[in-house]
């Protein structure tokens, strides 16, 4: 096997985050299994060409701000150089620090303009590399059977895991350590560090959450550190924070559920607020199974609502509610004649 000496040069833009990873991570991952005879990493300020290049080797110098570079680009170019008796090729431009040299001879003005060797050194180049990498990531997913309807409006980090059979609709961004399983449908949503496990999500903002099978979320829902059980419904303008909704819970619209545990099949009426903050501390609310929380209910934590409790619309609940009870706490309505 041909002896390779690889020198990786750390640069300022090598640490730029791009689609979930630093630019240098793409390069180092690509060459991690190459098995070069010698591989070193140096800072740009400490790089000395006369020390870096070795005789009787294919010397490869790569700046780590080149995340598009692939192993095959380097090896195929090295093979061509040997066939054409070219001693040195600069990568990207004629004065590039990155290069491939056969031995220590760096003479000649040959350079490769291949996009594979495009480096990030300003905002414009970052944009070009970002979009090229984005297409590579999406193309790989399409080849595995992920249904991506519009590449132009879909953005998925390299760190995300999308299973074959998932459907990603337009205007979707998936970031971080997210996982989207088969049979999931995600459209026009922002997903970060979250699991969508066979659920349907549309026009929603989901961070550090887990949405289970057959649940529907959105439009315009917001989840933060939320656990949404199977068959749940989280509708428009509902926010769930640091809470768990068990199987079959319905919160159809215009509600805030914070620091709560909500039991199976409970209905959370429109305008319901879990009042979890007293100005200093957050407090927990526990709601049992098969409860009915009427519209505009206020649950003032800490609070426990028993199974099959019924809370009438417009009620502010400040004391624990026993199971199988009816609670109403409205102000008495008065109607007087108007002079208008």
**195: number of Cβ within 10 Å:** 20
**Strand-pair partners of 162:** 180
User: Which residue in the list 205, 210, 212, 253 is annotated as catalytic?
Assistant: 253
Strands 4-10 and 38-43 turn out to be parallel
Residue 62 to residues 127, 173, 287, 303: CA-CA distances in angstroms?
20, 31, 59, 60
* 205 included as an active-site residue: no
CA–CA gap between residue 248 and residue 311 (Å, rounded) = 19
- Output phi, psi for 131, to 5 deg: -70, -30
Helix (H, G, I), strand (E, B) or coil at 65: coil
According to DSSP, residue 220 is labeled: S
- Output phi, psi for 76, to 5 deg: -70, -35
**174: number of Cβ within 10 Å:** 25
Q: What is the DSSP string of 167-182?
A: EE-SSEEEESS-EE-T
* Contact yes or no for 293/276 (Cβ under 8 A): no
Q: What is the DSSP string of 13-32?
A: GGG-EETTEEHHHHHHHHTT
Instruction: Show the DSSP H helices in the chain as ranges.
Output: 23-30, 49-52, 71-84, 123-143
* Contact yes or no for 253/272 (Cβ under 8 A): no
- Output phi, psi for 141, to 5 deg: -70, -40
- Backbone angle region of 195, left / alpha / beta, with phi > 0 → left and psi within -120 to 50 → alpha: beta
**326: number of Cβ within 10 Å:** 10
Q: Is the peptide bond before 302 cis (omega within 30 degrees of 0)?
A: yes
So which residues are the catalytic ones?
253
């Amino acid at each position: 096997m041909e002896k390779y000496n690889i020198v990786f040069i750390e640069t300022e833009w090598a640490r730029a985050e791009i689609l979930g990873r630093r630019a240098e991570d793409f390069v180092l991952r690509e060459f991690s299994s190459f098995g070069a005879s010698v591989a070193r990493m140096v800072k740009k300020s400490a790089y000395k060409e006369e020390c870096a290049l070795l005789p009787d080797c294919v010397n490869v110098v790569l700046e780590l701000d080149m995340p598009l570079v692939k192993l095959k680009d380097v090896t195929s170019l090295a093979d061509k150089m040997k066939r054409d008796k070219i001693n040195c090729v600069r990568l990207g431009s004629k004065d590039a620090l990155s290069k491939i040299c056969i031995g220590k001879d760096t003479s000649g003005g040959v350079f490769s303009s291949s996009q594979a060797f495009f480096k990030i050194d300003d905002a414009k180049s970052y944009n070009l590399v970002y979009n090229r990498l984005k297409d590579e990531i999406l193309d790989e997913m399409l080849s595995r059977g992920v249904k991506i309807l519009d590449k132009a409006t879909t953005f998925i980090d390299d760190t995300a895991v999308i299973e074959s059979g998932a459907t990603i609709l337009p205007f979707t961004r998936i970031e971080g350590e997210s996982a989207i399983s088969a049979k999931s449908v995600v459209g026009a949503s922002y997903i970060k560090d979250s699991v969508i496990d066979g659920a349907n999500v549309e026009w929603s903002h989901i961070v550090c959450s887990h949405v289970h099978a057959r649940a529907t979320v959105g439009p315009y829902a917001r989840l933060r550190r939320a656990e949404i059980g199977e068959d749940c419904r989280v509708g428009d303008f509902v926010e769930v924070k640091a809470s768990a909704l068990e199987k079959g819970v319905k919160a159809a619209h215009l509600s805030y559920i914070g620091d709560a545990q909500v039991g199976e099949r409970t209905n959370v009426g429109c305008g319901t607020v879990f009042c979890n903050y007293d100005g200093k501390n957050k407090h927990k609310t526990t709601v049992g199974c098969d409860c009915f929380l009427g519209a505009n209910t206020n649950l003032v934590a800490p609070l426990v609502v028993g199974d099959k409790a019924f809370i009438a619309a417009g009620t502010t609940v400040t004391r624990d509610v026993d199971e199988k009870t009816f609670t109403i706490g409205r102000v008495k309505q008065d109607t007087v004649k108007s002079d208008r």
